[in-house]
Amino acid sequence: MPRQPVAATKFYQQDIVQKASSNSYGIVLRCWHDAEDMPIPPAATLADPLMRPLRHGEVGVSWLTEGGRREILPESELHLLDRTLQPGDFCKRSVDDVQSGVVTDLRVRCRVEHVINKEPVEGWKTSSDIYCRSDAEIGDYVICDDWIGQVVELFDENIIEVPSGQLVRLPEFSSRLAVGEKSENILPPPGGVQHMIGFLFGHPSRSSGLETVIAVKHTVYAIAWLAINQRLDILEAQKRPRPARFWYGQEISKLTLLRGRADFQMRTGDRLNLKNNTGLPFTKHGQEGEAGGVVCVQSFSVTATETELSVLWQDGTKETLNARDVIPYLNPDEYDCWPGDHVIWSSEGVKRPAVVQAVDSAQRTAKVLFVDTKQIEMVSLLELDPHGASDLEPAQGGIDGLGVRRGDFVFIHNEGLTNGYEPPRVPKIGELESWVRENPFIGGMNQLSGWRKEMADLGTDIATRRGKDGVVEGQMKRPSENGPVDWIGEVFDLNLDGTVQILHPDNTVQTYPLERLTKLYDGIEQLEDEIYEGGNHMSSPYEEEETWAMNEDGEWVQQDHSDEWEEYEEYDDAVEFMDSMDSGDSVYRISGAGIPEDDPEYMSLDPILPPPSGSQTLKASSTEDIPTPNGDSSHTPREESEDDNMTDNSPNEEKKTSWKHFDILPQVPPDHAYYSTIPMQHSRSFLARLQREYHILSGSLPDSIIVRAFEDRADLLRCLIIGPQNTPYEDAPFVIDWMLDSNFPNSPPLAHFLSWTNGNGRVNPNLYEEGKVCLSILGTWAGDKNETWSASRSSLLQAFISIQGLVLVKEPWYCEPAYDKLRGTKEGAVNSRLYSEKAYVLSRNFVFRALDIPLGGLESEMKWLYYTNRRLEKVVSDARALIEKSKEASSSTTAEEDEVAIPRLTAGGIITLERTLTKLQGLLDAQSTTPKDV
């Protein structure tokens, strides 16, 4: 039974919401549809109520009006106040709208109140009313002596008013406090870390009651210097050594603060100062004559915002609308692009740079300006690469996709010079200094080490001296105060001729060709990339560590490892070995996505059958006219027996395969992915296990999978899997090369998928263009203990069947991590349909590739299946019928069509498919004129 449709999502991360029948407002931090692939430790669940697993329709909110209290509650109890988007973000009008837009600009107005006494200020305030801050926050860029750096850490000096009214100075790390915050435990408990915390202005006694933050000052900045002005010549650049790591006191005035457009926009909860303070509320704290003196607070907090967006839609239209009228586009299709984007058009092995002019998202076509001819043409989106992923050659260092995006910070090269790369590729530079990655603690969580300890000592010393002889900090300059800065800027807009508009720090906008730009590699982004790459590490099942997996309810649970992994045992025969395996381990999860057991496509293994008897096919006069797949093979022909399943031409009888499912060939073919690897010396246990694997394969492979082993390389195999019926992969050949390393069977086999997409994207989320097969049993995706490879419980047969049953499925989009939860949603249905069309069109080209360039060890099998058994005619006939049906006027599908993997094609899908059909028809025509073997 298909799942019932669920209600559309109402809220997204960073939404500003209000609780029904309440004045409380807060910010959404978690949603049920978020891609959360990391487990939540039990300790965090107890400490933070926001961290429990979410059910459908729930969100996690941090209440800004309640001191940051966090709560999970149903969407039905919330009202949307404003939606947070930035220039460069993608959006849609609704989840089922196929057209999307990109935010090109925004304007925010806000209401404010005094941070402490909560007295409101009348009217809406805009950015023109706000006093631009001159202090930097973590992540902000700063400039010094032609270098651009990024603030990676702060040391603060806070002034806290205790319940008695006395003022206390509190030095500490990382800007955790904001003016106006009130709590009973702002000050650390007695016995805290003394080298980080100092109480000045006397020694107040601790008493119960609210403590209030009345001032926050950044006293020490830790800055990582990323890159130097690219307009300097080499000799001049050598005169500019990296600036200092720590900045404090009057030295701060040598820095220039560089802020982007997004930094000037107000958000609910922000603290700010107004340019005109006349008649506005303020508060006084402290007493004259006391150490702290009197502190006057005239700061305000943002209580409400209203955001107006400028949106460029894919069709080229522009619109100004309220942010609440759109939703974030969280899962863009890999072919999505927008006017002004730089892309690569790829077809028939030819690649050409182009600039998108407009996109028809419903039909998946685009008008593009070809850079080489300056001509505008209509093309299929399936032939466009917006990300630079089509270049499978090793990427040059620093490459980060194609073109630039709005909001990127870029360096500008001198006129007449370029970034050194062939457009539309753009390099990125920015070297994060190694000291930033140092471990902050030694010997426990309370003992700072390295540069953080040095920074804490500096900050504490400054606070101490301020209490004695006074210390005065300098203020960072604004770009306008330091002369024009024309060597760096923010991408403001993308022009349809391929040029780029850059907003310079002095607020001037200049236009540059793409080749004069180099992207700045953000230091915080570098750290996130390193964490992400480290997260892909596949831990060994033999390591003694905690492992977690998501159960059927979407909850992260710790796996039980009380029982030790079974050691591999040598069984007397294959039957005993198979019987020893847990039947529940016959299939394995891919990329963490589960397949519902009631899904009719679950583990569907289809036999190889010829077309229906009514199809127009090339018919042989008798079975003697049909060559066996071994007849022209490079390996030794086998003798046919009475038990062989030979092809029959009886019109109403089921046809069965005429090939040998498992065979051992004399030599490994040169086109094998692991052909160049060094052969290993095989142990006795390896050979014994291999013999049993061969025994299993020789008698248990389904009709649609064949496997070839090799006498000269016992560690290599090649398998052919035919795409199951009623999937986007129907009738297409999928070839995977395998290698058993020296640790087999204690480690899983290595797999390399032969991708024939010609750089037009993955044919499946788990089958990468570079050959990776993402499957838990292969150790390329993190699964629980029962899903990973086990020497005693796993087999090669299970790996092969898992690929066919769990990878080559009817709706492959849901194989992406965390997408399975979107089954039954409109968003899931739209994305799944687009992905399945792409998978179908690309896999038709697999048929051509397998026949055009014969595969070593599979030549006769391909010829038998697609020519003798007439499967090629079926592929062409089915594709043409689908094209004709797709061209019909009606855009709606019937109930019967909804059960079909590919009910209709878009115009873009038809354009690409027709190119492939022309090639396939050429093969058919050539075959019809070739004399048949007798």
Angle at 562 between CA 559 and CA 563, to 5 degrees: 110
Q: In what order do the strands lie in the sheet with 365-370?
A: 376-380, 365-370, 350-360, 342-347, 384-385
Cβ proximity of 473 and 249 under 8 Å? yes
The single residue listed with the structure tokens 């689908």 is 882
The single residue listed with the structure tokens 């650049």 is 237
Amino acid identity, position 4: Q
> Distances from the Cα of 923 to the Cαs of 347, 848, 851, in angstroms?
19, 8, 8
Residue of 337, 719, 774, 815 with catalytic role: 774
Which residues lie below 8 Å from residue 525, measured CB to CB, with a gap of 6+? none
Which residues lie below 8 Å from residue 496, measured CB to CB, with a gap of 6+? 339, 340, 355, 357, 369
Catalytic status, residue 132: no
Cβ proximity of 305 and 297 under 8 Å? no
The alpha carbon torsion through 909, 912, 916, 919 (nearest 10 deg) reads 140
Q: Using DSSP, state whether 497 is helix, strand or coil.
A: coil
Amino acid identity, position 548: W
The alpha carbon torsion through 381, 382, 388, 392 (nearest 10 deg) reads -170
Q: Using DSSP, state whether 381 is helix, strand or coil.
A: helix
Enter the tokens of residue 507. Answer: 């607020």
Give CA–CA dist 870/863, Å, rounded.
Answer: 9
Which residues on neighbouring strands pair with residue 108, listed in sequence order?
307
CB-based burial, 518-556: b 16+ in 10 Å, e otherwise: bbbbbbebbeeeeeeeeeeeeeebeeeeebebbeeeeeb
Residue 739 has φ and ψ, to the nearest 5°, of: -135, 135
Give CA–CA dist 389/133, Å, rounded.
Answer: 41
Which residues on neighbouring strands pair with residue 248, listed in sequence order?
220
Q: Is the dihedral of CA 793, 796, 799, 802 positive or negative?
A: negative
Amino acid identity, position 685: S
Directed axis angle between helix 871-886 and helix 907-928, to 10°? 150
Give CA–CA dist 286/288, Å, rounded.
Answer: 7
Which residues lie below 8 Å from residue 126, measured CB to CB, with a gap of 6+? 107, 108, 109, 110
On the 0-12 / 13-18 / 19+ scale of CB atoms within 10 A, 565 is middle
Enter the tokens of residue 820. Answer: 């399975």
**DSSP assignment of 858-909:** THHHHHIIIIIT-HHHHHHHHHHHHHHHHTSS-----HHHHTSS-----HHH
Residue 928 has φ and ψ, to the nearest 5°, of: -70, -25
Q: Is the dihedral of CA 436, 437, 438, 440 positive or negative?
A: positive
Q: Which DSSP helix (H) or strand (E) runs through 304? A: strand 300-313
Cβ proximity of 57 and 32 under 8 Å? yes
Cβ proximity of 235 and 208 under 8 Å? no
Q: Where in the sequence numbering do the catalytic residues fall? A: 774
